[in-house]
Chains A and B, each alone.
Chain A
Amino acid sequence: VQPPEKPLQAEEWNKLREDFQFPEIFEEVMLNSMIRCNSPIDVAKSLLTHLARRNGDIAYNVLVKYLTLCVQQGRVSEVCDVYDIMKGRFKILESGAYNLLIRGLSNSDQWRMALTLLEEVNKIMIPSRTSYECCIKAASRHQEMKLAFELYNEMLAKNVVPTLDVLESFFNFSRGMKDAELQKDLFGILFYLRENQIYPHKRFMRSIKLWFESIPGGNWKGRLTNIKDSGQCPVCKHQLEDSNLTEEEYSNLSERIIKDVIHGTDTFRKTSPKEFEAFQTFVENRLPFDIVIDGLNVSHIKSRKMQCENLFDAVNCLAKENARLLVLGRKHMLMNTSNWKREIMKEMQNKADFFFAENISEDDAFLLYATLRSGKHCRFVTRDFLRDHKACLPDSLTRHLFRKWQRGHQMVFFPSAEGRGFSSVFSQQPAFRYDCVVQTTGDTWHIPYKDVFEEKYSYQVPRKWLCIQQK
């Protein structure tokens, strides 16, 4: 339905209603289309008046729809009126109305009322993240940074994830303030980005930069740059954090991989205890390896070639560097079939160690175990992103560790026409040597940022950096 352009008389509404297919839901449909077309508020008012005259009452959902229209057009006094009416009519409201009210009021001089509303919501449920967002933005817009941070901490404590927008607004509105406490809080946000491996987008990065440069007497200077493969920042010549995990992180990750990925709820789901034990003794006797290869994955790289030839290429290419290789495969590879020629398999076994798992076992789990057992220098070769194994890990912290380790240790074999080479899945270079995360040394900050607003793949890391230096 097309909403009318001018307020209508009762009769005209009646006529429209009768012409409509389902008269019972006429008001709802009409208000919905008014919201969509952003109709003048007077039209909606005339509909409500008509309704009130006919029924002596207006249903809650109609009121909420009207409220949506008011909020959409920023009619603060109208929002207040509707709130008064609702408060009188109903003991409590539901989340949709609260969200709207908070959104409507936080953009006006009545923003403190939004805060009291937020408290009211708090009593019965966890407020939505947009509600928090609106209140925080309103508080910081009025330079009440302390209040804004209180709300922010409350939000985090309730496990409500803040949007990048909120974080950005903190930096935008703190510009030029000299306040040690505030500075600490903002650094806290940067650490939040670090811990959760969140990368700011360009606009956000810019507001961080401007804030740093605006600190009175801070002498901060920010510059945009690309980090070299060596991990050195070209601006301040600073070496970025190593991509290697710490001893503790490393042992923690290996433990979790064995416990959650290999064993999980039932060891028999991915392997069997007997097989795993055999694999463990096999690995222990031959440690350490330099490169662990997922044989089946590598063998599928070129579909035109025989599978064992693909694997043969990879093994040859890697064996040249005098590295100790381990190839993981399944028993069916030994069956001298058209894809797996016995002679070639024999030849390969002279150059690398092979372990053949049962045909129904998961070889990826073995790949992770062997690589982690061999130590920090060991890399592994597969095209697989290992998402399913990452998903087996119990908490986000361990999953981040896994990603970080994977970035530093996974390689992909790309056979090309000119020659064969290896590179990291995540970028066109051999696995990252430095850690791609917000980092500081006290007098410098390095912040990776995304060029585009949305980062497409979670495994990709940004290549552009903001370098901030104190002079």
Chain B
Amino acid sequence: MQCANMLLRKILRSSVLPFAAQHGMKKDLFPLSRTLSLSLCLKQDKSEPSEKLDLDEWKKVMKSGLQEEVSETVSEPKELSSLAAARETLEMWRLAGRAVPENISEVQLKTFMECPSKSAKKKYLKYLHLKELHKKNDKRKMDEKRERRLEAKDQASNTDETKKSSFLCLWSSTMDRAYNWRAAQSMIFGQPLVFDMSYEKEMSVREVTNTVRQIVLSESCNRKSVDPFHIHFCNFKDDSLYHREFINQYREAWGKLLITVTEQCYTEIFPKDKLIYLTADSPKVMKTFDHNKIYIVGSMVDKTIKTGVSLARAKRLGLETAALPLEKYLLWSTGAKNLTLDQMMRILLTLKDTADWKKALEFVPKRKYCGFVNRPVKELKKTLDLINTLKLGKGWEEVETRFAKNHPKK
């Protein structure tokens, strides 16, 4: 039997395969010959491990599959539309192991093609890829959760235990009603807080989306607070990018929000001397939260930090400005001093309720600062230096330069 095998193998190896590769065998014969030769090879490997390897065998395998495909594709029309070509390129990138989404819609593909540079394209694809991954993960988690819930239900029905309680289980809707009641109250008696919606030109589409997302978050935590602000969206244009994004986020709830949306500027609604524009670029530092003032927050996300844009707004209108006393209370380490809108909202709400800076500034991301300061930084600097020199035996210069880095002189 082995002899016969050897013979067969030799015939296949020496004549059939090259012959087939050269002339292109008929489809139906080829796969057969391949499996035959492969199974033979495998067998032979076991019996004679010392036999010399055919290093180019993979080529034959690859080309053999190829001939079938070629004969199929030849008949297809070869010209590709630019969209299809882009899709094709994406597919190849995915095969090459780059960060590319598996599925891409027509709109996304068009956005991809409109990207001005190679790096912009890469970034956009990576963004889509990550988004897809997140979505998949979320879906998986949801499914797992559902399964677990079903299991729990089964167990519960088995034990058949009924709980007795004097309250109906209507948590979320009752809570919503209570929150809305408070928000409605704030619309009449609450302290106004203005979101300045005039930065659309300064932002890219992605930045506007992020801004709206942040505002939605701030609105929800305002609604859930004990004493909400009366939120005003000023300089709000219908059919603007902001508007479209808000509808995307809120859907039908957009019309029912308990906030004031107006095309007017805040200077037209409120007396000028009561307005304070909050901006990180302001030379003035906020000392206390004033319950009689109206604070304005610029609805802007600037990923490429644009200094002085909101300060310019305030300057033009002749408004008072203020910045949060971050330097005074926190040992700042890294990151820009501009905070997200929802962080601002939480800080303002806490200040309003408690007037406690330490509590309020808890909402500054932890990565941005090393710790709280309860005495002026200058005094603290001396003690810090002293501790460092005593404890670590570090030279003064080193400590000084490190400190200077964190606290640049004005």
Contact = CB atoms under 8 A, between A and B. Distances in A.
B15 interface: no
A61 B95 CA distance: 6
Nearest to A272: B315
B92 A266 contact: no
Nearest to B42: A53
Give the interface SS of chain B, mostly helix, strand, loop or mixed: helix
Contacts of A84: 63
Contact of A124 (B89, B97, B98): B89
Contacts of B38: 53, 56
A308 to B, nearest CB: 17
Interface residues of B, number: 43
B65 A56 contact: yes
B62 to A, nearest CB: 5
A124 B309 CA distance: 40
A268 B312 contact: yes
A92 B53 contact: no
Interface stretch (B66-74, B290-298, B326-334, B380-388): B66-74
Interface stretch (A7-15, A107-115, A224-232, A313-321): A7-15
Best-buried of A42, A52, A125, A126 by chain B (most CB within 10 Å): A52
A49 B95 contact: no
Contact of B95 (A60, A124, A272): A60
Interface residues of A, number: 44
Most central of A94, A97, A124, A270 by chain B CB within 10 Å: A94
B61 A56 contact: yes
A46 B309 contact: no
A88 B63 contact: yes
A471 interface: no
A96 B202 CA distance: 36
B104 to A, nearest CB: 15
B316 A53 contact: no
Given A84-B63, A268-B316, A269-B312, A49 B53 contact: yes
B66 A42 contact: no
A397 interface: no
Interface string B180-223: 00000000000000000000001000000000000000000000
Interface in B70-128: 70, 73, 80, 85, 88-89, 92-93, 95-98, 118
Q: Which 8 A-B pairs have the closest CB atoms?
A: A268-B312, A88-B66, A94-B92, A60-B95, A52-B58, A45-B55, A52-B61, A48-B58
Interface of B: 34, 38, 41-42, 45, 49, 53-59, 61-63, 65-67, 69-70, 73, 80, 85, 88-89, 92-93, 95-98, 118, 202, 283, 307-309, 311-313, 315-316
Interface of A: 7, 9-11, 28, 42, 45-46, 48-49, 51-53, 56-61, 64, 81, 84-85, 88-94, 96-97, 124-126, 265-270, 272, 359-360
